Amino acid sequence: MGRLFVTVFEGPFVYKCKHCQTDLGVRSDIVSAQDLGTDGKLYAFTKLFNVFLVASTFPYMSDVLCVYCSARLGSYYVSAVESISSTYRVLRRKLHGPEGSDDEV
């Protein structure tokens, strides 16, 4: 297997994988924190880092996995309409939020 390159963020508003503490995204990329899925509350991100996508059985959807520990974090939805941007939907319980946020462990 190849060498693993991981993007590391500096600053107080970084969301991390709850399993391995790999940096995944920043607060400014959250579009919505009010989404509710079948597995619980979801965050909608416009951009995520240190993740990879795995094809799903559903069209317009892929699973989002952590690049370091391969934990399933949520889903990536590709919009069929060009005016609506594609988003990453990440389970809130799979994230370790920034210090002082509701998601801090």
3-state SS, 44-92, equals EECCCCCEEEEECCCCCEEEEEECCCCCEEEEEECCCCCCCCCEEEEEH
Q: What is the pLDDT of residue 6?
A: 86
pLDDT tens for the 105 residues of the chain, in order:
567 788 888 888 888 998 999 999 888 888 888 777 767 788 888 889 999 889 877 778 888 999 999 999 988 887 666 655 677 778 777 777 666 565 544
pLDDT at 105: 41
pLDDT of amino acid 61? 84
In the three-class reduction of DSSP (H, G, I as helix; E, B as strand; rest coil), residue 38 is classed as: coil
Q: How many Cβ atoms sit within 10 Å of the Cβ of residue 22? A: 21
